[in-house]
Amino acid sequence: MLVNLRRRFLGQLGAATLSPLLWRNDSTWFLQATPPSRLATDPLRPQYHLLPPANWMNDPNGPIWFNGRYHMFYQYNPHGAFWGSMHWGHATSPDMVHWHHEPLALTPTPGGYDRDGVFSGCVVLDRGVPTLIYTGVEPPATPAEATLRDGSHSWREVQCLAVSHDGLRTWRKLGEPILASPPPGLVVTGFRDPCVWQEGKEWRMALGSGFAGKGGAILLYRSPDLRRWTYLYPLAEGKGTGQPSPNPVDNGEMWECPEFFPLGDRHVLLISTMGKVLWKSGTYAGGQFSPDREGEVDSGAYYAARTMLDRRGQRILWGWIPERRPEAEHRAAGWAGVMSLPRVLSLDSGGQLHMAPAPAIEALRGEHTQIRAGIDSSRRLRTLQIRDLAAEFRIEFLPDSAFLFQLQSRQDDPFLEIAYNPADTGRELRLNGSRFALASTTQAPIVLRPFVDGSVVELFGDNTSAITERVYRAPQTPLRVVVPRTKSLLSLDLWQMRPISTDRLTG
């Protein structure tokens, strides 16, 4: 996934670190090359999604509800809006929606086993003590020691542990990694992104990995104390595409970011590979996971998903919304990467994964307009407009009838188009040309919930499936709503959404 970004990072690190400004947000210092005022007026920068005050972010890491607050960590580069020099950024929230930026949580230790980057991982409570388990990368002492080879880097990946005694703000790392190399005898395509859970009196760890020429795999380990680990066997294995590739993530021979958790009476495994998050659901008994359903978590710009339990015990999904514009553009913008909105996960009776926007997001709803099917619906639709690219819609269409929903500027510039024609494409929708299959099978009305936030659109279909799109167009006028065939429209609700900060720094 990150191969191109990583390659460029090596070449450009020197230039990018020459003259960063130090910018202060509360007690948090973020190295930054772009003045905050530029970010605050950038119409493409989301206003109600979480993203760092500046620079690059990727994967969500270790989200957790702890002592009355939600903590979100994420892969962060303090040197600019490009991948490299991975740190853990940190934000906290009372409600999963309003965020406060905290000081950086984890930085590479100079000369240490994670000197080249603190990669993705998780946070667990070990008898109440917050314990962070992550992947550290360092140069390999010998070529054989390298477990990450993506065509431009060669790194040794080790699994590391740190504990916090001040409410997840600062972390003390162990002197040594807890796993310094893959299991003896296994030649792997990668060795990273631990997902740890408690099982009876013991701990289990799932690690992202794979086998060259075969496919991605998740390695399963056990431990009595989170420090001493024994390899068991692969929790799951898959097939790659068979196409040669310098980066095994690009042909499915390496699975990144495993996430394994109970949901209802089954278990779900998420893995990230080839630019997608895939899910598998099935039974987990006697240490064996037997998946019998699978699919894609999101058909758009969405990667490296992680989950947590919210204060009510619901399983919440978070994902990294990557950029889809040329790197030169996001470097110039001074920010890159967005955290998705929280999504509540569930399984239907057949084991199909469903997701819906978390009700907490409703706290952001501002001015509301509702239009019901009827004589003057076309006239009322023409009066609708959304300001500042910040809106939520709930639109209901008749089942099995074609429809078109568009957002346009006053100059008729298209911003967003959602199209459905069941006669041509069955249960498949199109969002600005990207395909998106509805997971629901009912004959009930189709419910679409697009969330528009700057250059991010997250669209939920029937509160069961999702697609995330990036739209890099900044219209000069408020957007208007166009529904050419109002006959298929049952109702439309529009909420102007409130920003979560006054300056677009979102925290």
Q: Which of 160, 278, 262 is nearest to 218 (CA)?
A: 278
State which residue, 192 or 504, has the beta carbon closest to ligand FRU.
192
Interface with ligand FRU, residue 250, by CB under 6 A? no
Residues 477-506 that bind ligand FRU (CB under 6 A): none
Q: In angstroms, what is the minimal distance from the CB of 59 to ligand FRU?
A: 5
Q: In angstroms, what is the minimal distance from the CB of 356 to ligand FRU?
A: 25
d(CA 79, CA 93): 25
φ/ψ of residue 407, rounded to 5? -115, 130
* 120, 131, 164, 468: residue in contact with ligand FRU (rule CB under 6 A): 120
State which residue, 194 or 475, has the beta carbon closest to ligand FRU.
194
Interface with ligand FRU, residue 59, by CB under 6 A? yes
* 28, 32, 55, 135: residue in contact with ligand FRU (rule CB under 6 A): 135
Residue bearing tokens 């999604």 = 49
State which residue, 85 or 488, has the beta carbon closest to ligand FRU.
85
Interface with ligand FRU, residue 114, by CB under 6 A? no
CB of 225 closer than 8 Å to CB of 218: no
Given the residues 26, 59, 348, 424, the one annotated as active site: 59
Interface with ligand FRU, residue 217, by CB under 6 A? no
State which residue, 31 or 57, has the beta carbon closest to ligand FRU.
57
Q: In angstroms, what is the minimal distance from the CB of 79 to ligand FRU?
A: 14
State which residue, 188 or 429, has the beta carbon closest to ligand FRU.
188
CB burial class (10 A; 0-12, 13-18, 19+) of residue 292?
exposed
Collect contacts of 380-386 with beta carbons under 8 A, ≥24 apart: 381/481, 381/482, 381/483, 381/486, 381/492, 382/480, 384/480, 384/481, 384/492, 384/494, 385/478, 385/479, 385/480, 385/481, 386/452, 386/478, 386/479, 386/481, 386/494, 386/496
* 196, 304, 386, 395: residue in contact with ligand FRU (rule CB under 6 A): 304
Q: Which residues are bridge partners to 347 per DSSP? A: 353
State which residue, 2 or 217, has the beta carbon closest to ligand FRU.
2
Q: Which of 381, 434, 436 is nearest to 405 (CA)?
A: 381
State which residue, 58 or 164, has the beta carbon closest to ligand FRU.
58
Q: In angstroms, what is the minimal distance from the CB of 80 to ligand FRU?
A: 14
Interface with ligand FRU, residue 138, by CB under 6 A? no
CB of 456 closer than 8 Å to CB of 338: yes
Q: What is the DSSP string of 193-242?
A: EEEEEEETTEEEEEEEEEETTTEEEEEEEEESSSSS-EEEEEEEE-----
Interface with ligand FRU, residue 133, by CB under 6 A? no
Residues 158-197 that bind ligand FRU (CB under 6 A): 192-193
* 58, 131, 209, 455: residue in contact with ligand FRU (rule CB under 6 A): 58
Site string for ligand FRU, 257-276 (x = CB under 6 A): x-------------------
Residues 60-89 that bind ligand FRU (CB under 6 A): 75, 86
d(CA 40, CA 49): 14
CB of 84 closer than 8 Å to CB of 9: yes
Distance, CA of 130 to chain centre: 22
Interface with ligand FRU, residue 119, by CB under 6 A? yes
Active site residue 42: no
Q: In angstroms, what is the minimal distance from the CB of 175 to ligand FRU?
A: 22
Interface with ligand FRU, residue 338, by CB under 6 A? no
CB of 339 closer than 8 Å to CB of 57: yes
275: left (phi over 0), alpha (psi -120 to 50) or beta: left
Interface with ligand FRU, residue 302, by CB under 6 A? no
User: Which residues would be at the binding site for ligand FRU (CB under 6 A)?
Assistant: 1-2, 58-59, 75, 86, 119-120, 135, 192-193, 256-257, 303-304
Catalytic residues: 59
